């Protein structure tokens, strides 16, 4: 098969016009721009000989006539202030490969743009419903930041939705995506073959001290929740540095102080510790270390301690045979200029992997920047990623034939 880089780049720029702002896009799920972009995609799918099919939650499939083939794609919704390639690259690369496959007489390549990957209603919503991780009724009760339910928002799809093609119709899934991190660029690589999507743990923690007057309460008698927080994070850092693997990350991104006034010894701090790693055993050991670190800090300072409910997404290894196929294609297209790597971000492939062999392909993000209007990738790298994808799909198709 022979992909056409100019056609691919032209479609990518055409998609960029929907919700365009400041070099990026504003295309949250079910917005006018998101639905208009999907209507435009549906036309491209039809032109490519694929049957456009919306499902109830807004996923848009371009279904090849031949059952049992491969599914390619990602998502075309965006963050509230998103980049132009996040999701879009994977959908348009999939479209171009499906088109080239059909032109080469191969057929059997379908394409998808999942709905609400970026989380207006929580994240990965469309692929969660399609893969069966969540029912449509459950999804319908999700609300966005303004209190709108998904049920209300998806009414904007009007008469578009029908039956989704069942996951059983497809034999495998490959999601091309931008890296959204700095590694490929820093190492001068052009393509990343994803080995695992990391697991995530997020633990809410509450430290309770004694709210008091900041002038009349001597230091020795204080039970200060902010000081407890500082001690807890210091201990967490020390414990996790000892456990960390090469791609382990942890973040304290959310902190809420009560009553949060300069003249009052703070009585309560709620904070969230999030950590990610591809190794489930390391994730478990980190949880244990975090709990012990916070317990020690609370004990030392006479603070009450309550752990909230742990949020957990397990690591998702990519399908070993698909990974090898992508690795061979990358080495043939770009000898020495690719690497295997985990994905630190979640992707629709995490959900789809529950139903069929799944894998992912990364291209570099300039400066590691994503979820920002400044997000970008060199056109040469986008085209190189497309070429690796096409070569891998051709190999899968040849084996299936």
Taking CA atoms, 50 is separated from 16, 43, 61, 134, 349, in Å, by: 22, 9, 9, 27, 21
Measured CA to CA, the distance from residue 340 to residue 360 in angstroms comes to 10
Phi/psi-derived region of residue 368, left when phi > 0, alpha when psi is between -120 and 50, beta in every other case: left
The nearer residue to a copy of itself, 64 or 265, going by C-beta atoms, is 265
Asked if 250 touches a copy of itself (CB under 8 A), the answer is yes
Q: Select the span of 70-78, 98-106, 130-138, 213-221 touching a copy of itself (CB under 8 A).
A: 213-221
Q: Does 177 count as an annotated binding residue?
A: yes
User: Strand, coil or helix: what is 36?
Assistant: helix
Q: How far apart are the first and last CA of the chain?
A: 14
The nearer residue to a copy of itself, 10 or 221, going by C-beta atoms, is 221
Asked if 31 touches a copy of itself (CB under 8 A), the answer is no
Q: Does 13 count as an annotated binding residue?
A: no
Taking CA atoms, 52 is separated from 41, 55, 111, 273, 282, in Å, by: 9, 10, 9, 42, 43
User: Strand, coil or helix: what is 98?
Assistant: helix
CB of 85 to a copy of itself, least distance (A): 14
CB of 251 to a copy of itself, least distance (A): 4
Q: Select the span of 63-71, 91-99, 151-159, 365-373 touching a copy of itself (CB under 8 A).
A: 365-373
Residues 6+ apart with CB under 8 A from 275: 200, 201, 240, 248, 249, 250, 251, 283, 286, 287, 290
Q: Which two tokens stand for residue 370?
A: 């994503």
Asked if 143 touches a copy of itself (CB under 8 A), the answer is no
User: Strand, coil or helix: what is 35?
Assistant: helix
Find the binder of a copy of itself among 110, 180, 208, 377 (CB under 8 A). 180
Find the binder of a copy of itself among 104, 274, 324, 331 (CB under 8 A). 274
Measured CA to CA, the distance from residue 96 to residue 75 in angstroms comes to 15
Find the binder of a copy of itself among 238, 255, 280, 380 (CB under 8 A). 255
Asked if 344 touches a copy of itself (CB under 8 A), the answer is yes
Q: Select the span of 44-52, 64-72, 225-233, 315-323 touching a copy of itself (CB under 8 A).
A: 225-233
CB of 182 to a copy of itself, least distance (A): 6
The nearer residue to a copy of itself, 95 or 283, going by C-beta atoms, is 283
CA 373 distance to own-chain centroid: 17
CB of 47 to a copy of itself, least distance (A): 34
Residues 6+ apart with CB under 8 A from 381: 190, 363, 364
Find the binder of a copy of itself among 2, 215, 281, 399 (CB under 8 A). 215
Q: Is 115 exposed, middle or buried (0-12, 13-18, 19+ CB in 10 A)?
A: buried
> Which residues within the stretch 293-322 sit at the binding site for a copy of itself (CB under 8 A)?
none
Contact 68, 102 (CB under 8 A): no
Binding site feature residues: 75, 86, 118, 177, 371
Binding site feature residues for Zn(2+): 75, 86, 118, 177, 371
Residues that bind a copy of itself (CB under 8 A): 179-183, 198, 200, 202, 212-219, 221, 224, 226-227, 229-230, 233-234, 237, 244, 247-257, 260-266, 272, 274, 276, 343-346, 368, 370-371
């Amino acid at each position: 098969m022979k992909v056409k880089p100019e056609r691919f780049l032209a479609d990518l720029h055409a998609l960029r016009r929907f919700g365009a702002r400041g070099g990026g896009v504003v295309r949250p799920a079910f917005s006018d721009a998101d639905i208009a972009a999907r209507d435009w995609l549906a036309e491209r799918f039809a032109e490519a000989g694929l049957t456009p099919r919306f499902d109830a939650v807004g996923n848009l499939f371009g279904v090849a006539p031949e059952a049992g083939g491969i599914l390619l794609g990602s998502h075309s919704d965006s963050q509230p202030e998103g980049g132009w390639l996040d999701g879009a690259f994977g959908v348009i690369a999939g479209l171009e490969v499906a088109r080239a496959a059909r032109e080469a007489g191969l057929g059997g390549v379908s394409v998808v743009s999942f709905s609400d990957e970026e989380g207006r209603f929580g994240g990965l919503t469309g692929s969660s419903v399609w893969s069966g991780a969540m029912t449509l009724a459950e999804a319908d009760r999700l609300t966005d930041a303004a209190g709108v339910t998904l049920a209300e928002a998806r009414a904007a799809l009007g008469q578009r939705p029908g039956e989704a093609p069942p996951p059983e119709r497809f034999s495998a899934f490959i999601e091309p995506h931008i890296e959204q991190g700095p590694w490929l660029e820093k190492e001068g690589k052009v393509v990343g073959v994803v080995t695992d999507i990391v697991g995530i743990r997020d633990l809410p923690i509450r430290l309770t001290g004694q709210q008091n007057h900041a002038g009349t309460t001597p230091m020795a008698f204080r039970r200060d929740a902010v000081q407890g927080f500082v001690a807890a994070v210091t201990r967490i850092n020390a414990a996790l540095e000892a456990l960390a693997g090469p791609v382990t990350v942890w973040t304290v991104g959310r902190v809420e102080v009560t009553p949060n006034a300069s003249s009052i010894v703070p009585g309560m701090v709620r904070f969230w510790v999030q950590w990610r790693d591809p190794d489930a055993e390391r994730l478990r050991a980190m949880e244990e270390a975090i709990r012990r670190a916070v317990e020690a800090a609370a004990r030392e300072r006479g603070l009450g301690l309550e752990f909230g409910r742990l949020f957990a997404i397990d690591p998702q290894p990519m399908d070993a045979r698909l990974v090898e196929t992508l690795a061979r294609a990358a080495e043939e297209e770009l000898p020495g200029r690719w690497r295997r790597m985990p994905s630190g971000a979640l992707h629709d492939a995490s959900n789809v992997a529950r139903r069929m062999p799944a894998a992912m392909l990364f291209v570099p993000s300039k400066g590691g920047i994503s979820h920002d209007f400044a997000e970008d990738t060199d056109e040469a790298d986008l085209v190189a990623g497309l070429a690796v994808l096409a070569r891998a799909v051709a190999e899968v198709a040849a084996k299936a034939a």
